Homo-oligomer: A and B are copies of this chain.
Amino acid sequence: MSQTLPSTTPASHFDACAERIVETARELAGKGWTPATSSNFSMRVDADHAAITVSGRDKGKLGRNDIMLVDLQGNAIGTDSRPSAETALHTQIYRRRPMVGAVLHTHSRAQSVASRLFAAEGAIHLQGWELQKAISGQDTHESVLEIPVFPNTQHMPELVDRVDAWLDAGKPLHAYLIDGHGIYTWGDDMAEARRHLEALEFLLDCELELGKLRTS
* Chain A residues proximal to chain B, CB less than 8 Å: 35-38, 58, 107, 109, 112-113, 116-117, 128-131, 134, 139-142, 152, 154, 178-182, 191, 195-196, 198-199, 201-202, 205-206, 208-216
Contacts and interface: CB of A to CB of B under 8 A. Distances in A.
12 contacts: A35-B131, A36-B202, A38-B131, A107-B130, A112-B131, A113-B206, A130-B180, A130-B181, A130-B182, A140-B154, A208-B213, A216-B216
Contact of A128 (B38, B116, B199): B116
Contact of A130 (B178, B191, B202): B178
Contacts of A178: 130
Nearest to A142: B154
A210 B113 contact: yes
B36 A213 contact: no
A89 to B, nearest CB: 13
A202 B109 contact: yes
Most-contacted residue by chain B among A128, A154, A206 (CB, 10 A): A206
A182 to B, nearest CB: 7
Given A107-B130, A113-B213, 4 more contacts: A35-B202, A37-B134, A116-B128, A211-B213
The 5 closest A-B pairs by CB, nearest first: A36-B199, A130-B181, A36-B134, A35-B202, A36-B198
A184 to B, nearest CB: 13
Nearest to A130: B181
